[in-house]
Amino acid sequence: GQQLNQSPQSMFIQEGEDVSMNCTSSSIFNTWLWYKQDPGEGPVLLIALYKAGELTSNGRLTAQFGITRKDSFLNISASIPSDVGIYFCAGQSGGTSYGKLTFGQGTILTVHP
């Protein structure tokens, strides 16, 4: 089956630093999604990418859909304490696989004030 490798598994940074995380896949995806999960909550969508090469920003967050359609990255600039949480990438194939999200293992982000 499809697999997503997300790295790093965890990050410990100081407030104000920039953060970068990425996902790579053995298969092609039509859509890449980035979610954030706070403790005790469900994942919340941060950014959705629908086209190879697409670069999309949402405030301090920037994500890109890789040209090969097998990878994506998420950058967070000028981190703040409320950025703490688990970040997941997810890929979605089209056709008969529509709706089936394949998730990465998650990146646990800790921000020290």
Partner 1 sequence: NAGVTQTPKFQVLKTGQSMTLQCAQDMNHEYMSWYRQDPGMGLRLIHYSVGAGITDQGEVPNGYNVSRSTTEDFPLRLLSAAPSQTSVYFCASSYVLGGSTDTQYFGPGTRLTVL
Our finding on whether 106 is near partner 1 (CB under 8 A) is: yes
In angstroms, the CA 53 to CA 50 distance is 9
By C-beta, is 95 or 113 nearer to partner 1? 95
Out of 7, 24, 27, 30, point to the residue binding partner 1 (CB under 8 A).
30
Out of 8, 17, 98, 112, point to the residue binding partner 1 (CB under 8 A).
98
- Which is it for strands 19-25 and 71-76: parallel, antiparallel or unpaired? antiparallel
In angstroms, the CA 48 to CA 13 distance is 25
Our finding on whether 75 is near partner 1 (CB under 8 A) is: no
Least distance (Å) from partner 1 to the CB of residue 105? 5
In angstroms, the CA 38 to CA 51 distance is 28
Out of 45, 55, 78, 80, point to the residue binding partner 1 (CB under 8 A).
45
Our finding on whether 48 is near partner 1 (CB under 8 A) is: yes
The SS3 assignment for 96 reads: helix
